[in-house]
Structure 1
Amino acid sequence: MYCPFCHNEQSKVIDSRVVDGGSAIRRRRECTACKGRFTTVEKAVLLVLKRNGLAEPFSRDKLIRGVRRACQGRDVSDDSLKKLAQQVEETVRSHGSSQVNANDVGLAILEPLRDLDEVAYLRFASVYKSFENADDFESEIRLMRRRDRGDF
């Protein structure tokens, strides 16, 4: 990290804190040359562990693209999708880990998507939960209705 005072490349970390609900790390640093102190804020990287064993950085844009497919033809605004993506990211970051399973991201999408648009929810759930026939849709609809009534 370059010192903003003397441009030396070496600094040491004096203090580190997690901020913004775990989405960033604030570091207090001291330059090893001029002893100047400065603060850096770094976005905490959230890795998504895929089923094939690979890990990739969490991407709101990728999440929005996937949910947008489920919302195709529905009256769902881009702002709503951005808000949903933020909710999902906050949910998975709240677990406090720097890594999250792709399955957990999918689970975090379901409830906010159901609140946003039930048809889009059913489309997304049909792929995510691997529906095989109309009975799977019927079961999911029954489950949704029980939740709406408070039976669940």
Structure 2
Amino acid sequence: MKCPYCGFTQDKVVDSRESKEADSIRRRRECERCNKRFTTYERIDEIPYMVVKKDGRREKFDRQKVLSGILRACEKRPVSAAKLERVVDETEAYVVDSPERERSTSEVGELIMSRLKELDTVAYIRFASVYRDFKDVREFKEELEELLHREKRSI
């Protein structure tokens, strides 16, 4: 917090009180350089983080929805819960770090697929088949062939 008088960044809290509505906290602060007092208010950030769907609709980011999709893709696969949690955490951080408070679902989906590809190729294919909405076996086969081709190049 910068002092509004001298711009110094070090201060101490002299007094804290909750507002009558309990939706903010009022703090009296004292600058450690000029010793002047000023008041700050802290409020909960209520503007949700959004994802933009392919058809342009906006939807509130839902961590649980991401987790359930990843869990479905990793069902009966040797992927630990800790690794799944890390993928969900990275996905949420990606959305939260957006300066516009929103990301497209295509960006979010690509991030999840890249993480799943590193963890388990079967889980990746499962997730990709739903996410990319494969229309037929040919699309599924093309994705598998591309995966195999990349795997051969890395050996």
TM-score (norm 1): 0.66
Q: 2:84 aligns with which of 81, 86, 89?
A: 81
Give the letter aligned to residue 59 of structure 2: A
Q: What's the CA shift string for 1:43-62, capped at 9, x where partnerless? A: 68422223461321x23222
Q: What is the aligned partner in structure 2 of residue 7 from structure 1?
A: 17
Q: Which runs of 5+ in 2 are unaligned?
A: 1-12, 21-25, 29-36
Identify the residue that residue 57 of structure 2 maps to in structure 1: 53
For 1:132, give the aligned amino acid. Answer: K
- Greater C-alpha Rg: 2
Written as runs of structure 1 = structure 2, the 5 A alignment for 1:49-128 is: 49-50=52-53, 51=55, 53-56=57-60, 58-128=61-131
Q: For 1:46 and 1:53, how far apart are their aligned partners in 2?
A: 14
**Alpha-carbon distance, 1:132 to partner:** 1.8
**Do the aligned residues in 2 keep the contact of 1:92 with 1:108 (CA within 8 Å)?**
no
CA distance in structure 2 between the aligned counterparts of 1:80 and 1:54, rounded to whole angstroms: 28
Distance 1:36 1:8, change over 3 A: farther
Deviation at 1:8, TM superposition (A): 6.6
Report the secondary structure of 1:7's partner residue: strand
* Counterparts of 2:150 and 2:86, CA distance in 1: 23
More moved, 47-56 vs 58-67: 47-56
Would the aligned equivalents of 2:49 and 2:101 in 1 still touch at CA under 8 Å?
yes
Distance 2:139 2:62 in 1: 30
Question: What do you get for the CA RMSD once the two structures are aligned?
Answer: 3.4
Distance 2:98 2:83 in 1: 23
